[in-house]
Structure 1
């Protein structure tokens, strides 16, 4: 083998370089037949070496040894190059027929050049693989240690859930287990505890692998992390999946995938699908029920907020006995603050740690005021709690779905929202297009509610009614209000004083910035004045004590689309100014004293 077709000219170095370049390129064609012969011979020798090495490795594995990862890589590469050689040899006859003048010319120079170059490069690769020597092919099998995850110092309220999850995972019929729940509810903590249990009870698994996936799914990063955990070296991107698959298919493994936001294609990564035959397991956490379905989890496990007693225990643990004992009234105030967290471990932990140094009644009452009026004002709420929950909002598909979620924050805390009424509001506001028929728009509304429930942003209440109401977790509601106010920069964009017992309209600095207002379930009797609400699109004031509305009140609300005054028994008249609401699409006067409109 060699590039025997060459010539030299007594010229300067530049001419010599050109000469050598031409010599090399022409050599791909001129030496084609010789290189093909060498390729066949060397490949036969390589296959013989592969067979001998495979026999040797199998014999050592039968003795309980474990083949080296570099052997696995070499065997996989030989299998790949064998296919490439077969493809080249299939085209051999056609390519040789193109040559004439003893291989100096070709009927298709471009085709012959490409083919000749590929033969030459493949031959070099075969020679390189054939020249690799292995003194050691296997070693004593070692079970990798489980890398324990560092947990919080105190974990409260997950004992039952951990026991349930551990027993479920150990069942023979369970290959993939998914755990879902809202952000901050403790899914990662639970997954860490399951991981750590394998350090106590290995259950026959060769590898326990932990990978954090997060919002942006990067397949190659997951592959690299798994390869690192099982001791495989780096490979080209195109070969990583095959390398992992061929290694893992002979092992029993548990793969933990924390915080996934979309389907993770195990085949694309190179992870064998868990079955009852291979006895492997994949466990993941997500905020979305839909992701559980896409991952083919038949019975996903919901991680729920803590009940009130357990939540108080966690909160008090974070606050500490020294602070709780600093004033007789503080334990009572602590119960009020803990209740504001609605069992969400993230909020209980962050707020509890913040309050641990507050040892006066005034400080605790101030905290309660902040959490009640505008929770984003509370220390650490805007930095550590709301941004984490906002990831779920950011992951919603479509701005209209996001707008629908924010609209739900207009209702009072823990309010059971009637789905049909909510959808009517969305249609009235134009968030859902009603121009193609009400039934079609309503179906779209139910679809969006389902999306929000599956994203753990709304909670569906199970009741004996045709369509169960939904509600927002209080901390999710605070997140929605924070987002609606442009992350706190425009606090008057969403005015929500719902269900707080107000007797008068709140004082607003700039009515022109208000886009939506909810004063439902209050004790306001009179709507006086003529506020210039040029941007207002929704005004909700149902279920109250409203009696009188001034004639000028609606004069400056040109964009108002939704007006709900229902369930105000003492309201008997509407002012003439209601006729100025030229954009109004939805008006609800049911269960009022109004019997006719002028």
Structure 2
């Protein structure tokens, strides 16, 4: 009985053991199955991460250590799971799949459970971005020198940078004005500003920047691995991928050409990205081509700030320094034109100069040869020369050089520079004044964009010459640079002689003429010129406005074989210098304002002459026939207020006749004075001449009582380009009438010495372009203008919509600006000048833009006013003559 009881216990134990093993095997299988499932999912996720890592490695990017550690952990868990499965398979020996060693299997189960927990944890872990960005240097502080006068530009730049709607900011201005200093200061300012930025990149471009150089810089700045043999496109793609995930500010200094964003790999910022691109260039068009949304022009610093910068660098203490030195120092500071680079260089040069004599010598050098001052060539002139050299063609540089031949700070208008450019051949292909003016404006705009000249607001000048309203000037340091270049970088000081307005009493010595190429001696006090200076290379000679120069020696021009530009304007010379006729290459000649009485027939030898001006030559009475017809290269001929004896046809007097002008096929711009009715009719019969006429003066036409434009004699299309019309000294003219669009482009109308005439307008708006109206010495004119029927009494009529200036002088019967009961409105009128108009007792004008009324005080005080308010409003406009 006890035997069976022992067997029963043993069988019970075996049953329990078998039951536990079976349960263990079942749960063990579950663990292995779960582990295999988790590891499979984990491997899928790791494959995705590996692909990202491989892509970043191909791009040369640095992968986060955390990501690499996760991948290693995944590999470890997967290896552990494989080992557990293999060991488990070896332990299963019986057909019931009982493990041979239960103790060993318990350890294996625990390993499986641990591996399962690790797999689940790795699968659930949130991985950071694969690329490691925290090793990028966010900011590099830039070394900067003392800055002055950039506060306004800095504040504007700061404001734009904080505006999330602005992504691209352009800064432009001449070399040495402080653009680099501004950007360096702004870069340093950003260190603690715009906290959201991942990186601030400061890139200094070279004169000839290459894409590969930019790539190397950006690869280094972004911690990318540079590999040789990689294509430019792939490198740009790598840079683009990184910057696309960063919030960046890219500052590019000293850019000479527009950056190709795609070629470099720079993503163009969208407003929502809050990224910024800031570019500085001397060339405004570079900023425009790069789609800069805001433009900041760096101007020269103001005089007070300039003086403080100069004084600081010259170590001048106002209380200690000699007052005479302080005065000279301020002159030198002004000659630097507010350019920080020049102010610092000149001031540092003078810092150890203690005597007045040293300072006086230095200020003379600043005027005549600033390149001789230490540091000027290397630190001022050479950097400015880069802008000059970067102009695309020799023609462009030649355009700029003309500004250096006028006095320092002189304002130059479109007309002045255009006539010289035409004479030089820079402007050649044009059909009328407007086309030549447009091309001139284009070239001036290019020079302005390149920071070689500065545009000056010319609104006050517009009333005189409407299409010449803009004026320009060249910075004194830019002028000094161009003269330095023209003088072979200072090696040939007399090669360019720019002494316009210097008060010279004597002409340059013979030695200076011998090497000269361009000589500007205008507006001086020169009385005499050398007899026959040897000037084999002379191209340009300006002798204008020397009011003491009465005679020019006949041999003066005999040794100037290359002369192309000759200006004798407003000299009191009476005899035409016949030596001019031997200047075979001459292209530009102005004799306007001289006292010459005739032109020699030999002048016809100037077969290359393009521009000839003889305006205001009131003593010029003779031009021989067959002279003008020989000037076949002539483009521009202006002879207003001068010679008026043009014949309608050849005559026995052998005087010039109009047909000679008709054969000048290249003539596009003509200013002419006509003194006979037959010549006037002949002029209007010639389509070639009437198309060329831009200035017309009609005077002394005996027997002409009516001048109607248009009419049978003067057809509608007769003068499409006329800009200025003068009707003068016509004793028998009773009516000057205008209608239609015959004078649609007329800008100035001048009526003078017409004792019987009245001005009649037969159609409202027929003078829609008129800017200036002058009426002088016309005894019968009682109203500004008479209107024909077609308008109602009491109606306000805008007869002159563009008129800006009215001049009325010596009109004894003039009573009113309006036409009887009809009020004329002058919507653009800015200026009125009234002198000796005794019957004009009231100013009945409708004009909202009037700025000044010039007249005698006595006449003004006697005016009648509708009410005190009207009187008060006009009182502020009064300017005494």
Task: Determine the C-alpha separation between the residues in 2 that align with 1:378 and 1:574.
Answer: 44
The Cα shift of 1:377 comes to 1.9
What secondary structure sits across from 2:202 in the alignment? Answer: strand
**1:558–1:324 distance in 2 versus 1, CA, 3 Å:** farther
Cα deviation, 1:450-482, whole Å, max 9, x if unaligned, reads 211110001111112233122111100011011
Q: How far has the Cα of 1:143 moved from its partner?
A: 7.2
Pick aligned residue for 1:552 from 555, 576, 582 = 555
The equivalent residue for 2:216 is 224
Matched residues in 2 for 1:140 and 1:188: separation?
29
Superposed counterparts of 1:405-484, under 5 Å: 405-433=400-428, 443-464=438-459, 465=462, 466-467=467-468, 468-484=470-486
Residues 511-536 of structure 1 show CA distances to partners (whole Å, capped at 9, x for unaligned) of: 23211110012111222421122221
Match of 2:363 among 364, 368, 372: 368
Residue number among 44, 48, 51 corresponding to 1:51 in the alignment? 48
Q: Secondary structure at the match of 1:549?
A: coil
Alignment deviations for residues 377-410 of structure 1 (CA, whole Å, 9 cap, x no partner):
2222122211110110111001111122122211
**SS of residue matched to 1:257:** strand
Distance 2:60 2:584 in 1: 78
Determine the structure 2 residue equivalent to 1:101: none
CA distance in structure 2 between the aligned counterparts of 1:136 and 1:527, rounded to whole angstroms = 83
CA distance in 1, matches of 2:320, 2:152: 30
Q: Shift in Å at residue 415 of structure 1?
A: 1.0
Of the three residues 162, 167, 186, the one matched with 2:154 is 162
The alpha-carbon deviation at position 160 of structure 1 amounts to 2.0
Distance of aligned partners of 1:396 and 1:272 in 2 relative to their CA distance in 1, 3 Å threshold: same
Structure 2: runs of 5 or more not aligned? 1-42, 68-126, 601-881
Q: Tell me how far apart the structure 1 counterparts of residues 363 and 512 of structure 2 sit (CA, whole Å).
A: 26
Cα distance change, pair 554–274 in 1 and its aligned pair in 2 (3 A): same
CA distance in structure 2 between the aligned counterparts of 1:274 and 1:433, rounded to whole angstroms: 44
2:256 to 256, 261, 279: 261
Structure 1 residue 297 displacement after superposition: 1.3
Distance 2:347 2:386 in 1: 23
CA distance in 2, matches of 1:232, 1:508: 66
Distance (Å, rounded) in 2 between the aligned partners of 1:68 and 1:576: 79
Q: Distance in 2 between matches of 1:575 and 1:52?
A: 91
Q: Of the candidates 262, 286, 294, which is equivalent to residue 291 of structure 1? A: 286
CA distance in 2, matches of 1:136, 1:455: 46
**Equivalent of 2:142, from 144, 149, 159?**
149
CA contact (8 A) 2:564 2:586 kept: yes
Measured at CA, do residues 135 and 590 of structure 1 come closer, stay the same or move farther in structure 2, by a change above 3 Å? closer
> In 1, are the aligned partners of 2:62 and 2:132 still within 8 Å (CA)?
no
Of the three residues 273, 279, 297, the one matched with 1:302 is 297
Q: Note if contact 2:302-2:338 (Cα within 8 Å) is conserved in structure 1.
A: yes
Cα pair 1:324 1:331 within 8 Å, conserved: no
1:378 to 351, 363, 373: 373
SS in 2 for 1:424: helix
Change (3 A) 1:533 1:171: same
Residue 513 of structure 1: aligned partner: 515
Q: Which piece of structure 1 moves more, 203-212 or 214-223?
A: 214-223
1:91-133 deviation line (CA, Å, top 9, x unaligned): xxxxxxxxxxxxxxxxxxxxxxxxxxxxxxxxxxxxxxxxxxx
2:390 corresponds to 1:387 = no
Answer yes or no: is the 8 Å Cα contact 2:566–2:588 preserved in 1: yes
Corresponding residue of 2:178: 186
User: Where do residues 488-503 of structure 1 align in structure 2 (5 Å cutoff)?
Assistant: 488-503=490-505
C-alpha deviation, 1:552, in angstroms: 1.9
Aligned residue for 2:541, secondary structure, equals strand
Separation of aligned partners in 1, 2:245 and 2:153: 32
Matches within 5 A, 1:96-245: 141=134, 144-152=137-145, 154-235=146-227, 236-238=230-232, 239-245=234-240
- Alignment of 1:328 onto 2:323: yes
Deviation of 1:189 (Å): 0.3
Q: Which has the larger radius of gyration?
A: 2
Following superposition, the deviation at residue 333 of structure 1 comes to 1.0
8 Å contact from structure 1 (residues 400, 432) kept in 2: no
Give the distance between the partners of 1:55 and 1:269, measured in 2 at CA: 24
Partner deviation per Cα, 1:320-378 (whole Å, 9 max, x = no partner): 13698342321111101101100001100111111111111111000001111122222
Q: Distance in 2 between matches of 1:244 and 1:267?
A: 10
SS in 2 for 1:509: helix
Distance 2:207 2:246 in 1: 29
1:531 to 530, 533, 542: 533
Cα distance in 1 between the residues matched to 2:400 and 2:309: 29
Instruction: Give the structure, 1 or 2, with the largest relative contact order (CA under 8 Å, sep 6 or more).
Output: 1
Partners of 2:128 and 2:293 lie apart in 1 by 48
Instruction: Confirm or deny that 1:563 pairs with 2:557.
Output: no
Q: Give secondary structure in 2 for the equivalent of 1:372.
A: helix
* Distance (Å, rounded) in 2 between the aligned partners of 1:538 and 1:140: 64
Counterpart CA distance in 1 for 2:46 and 2:249 is 35
In structure 1, the gaps of 5 or more residues are 1-45, 58-66, 76-133
Contact persistence 1:541–1:566 (CA under 8 A): yes
Give CA deviations for 1:24-50 in whole Å, capped at 9, x if unaligned: xxxxxxxxxxxxxxxxxxxxxx99754
Report the secondary structure of 2:563's partner residue: coil
State the SS of the aligned residue for 2:48.
helix
Q: CA deviation at 1:253?
A: 0.3
State which of 341, 350, 354 in structure 1 corresponds to 2:336: 341
The Cα shift of 1:591 comes to 2.3
Q: RMSD across aligned C-alpha pairs, in angstroms?
A: 2.9
SS in structure 2 of the partner of residue 517 of structure 1: strand
8 Å Cα contact 2:205/2:252 also seen in 1? yes
The offset of 1:200, in angstroms, is 2.5
Q: Deviations over 1:118-163 (max 9, x none)?
A: xxxxxxxxxxxxxxxx9995669467342111111x3221122211
Structure 2: distance between partners of 1:523 and 1:414: 20
Question: Does the Cα contact within 8 Å between 1:323 and 1:356 map onto a contact in 2?
Answer: no
Residue 315 of structure 1 pairs with residue 310 of structure 2: yes
Partner of 2:711: none
Distance (Å, rounded) in 2 between the aligned partners of 1:397 and 1:55: 48
Write the distance in 2 (CA, Å) between the matches of 1:169 and 1:328: 45
Q: Is the CA contact 1:561–1:584 (under 8 Å) kept in the aligned structure 2?
A: yes
In 1, Cα distance between the equivalents of 2:362 and 2:60?
A: 60
| 1:61 alignment counterpart | none
What's 1:27 paired with? none
Q: 1:281 to 1:553 in 2, by over 3 A?
A: same
Which deviations, in whole Å up to 9, do the C-alpha atoms of 1:393-430 show, x marking residues without a partner? 11100111112212221111111122222222123223
Q: How many residues align?
A: 483
C-alpha displacement at 1:54, in angstroms?
Answer: 6.6
The 3 A distance-change label for structure 1 pair 50 and 271 is farther
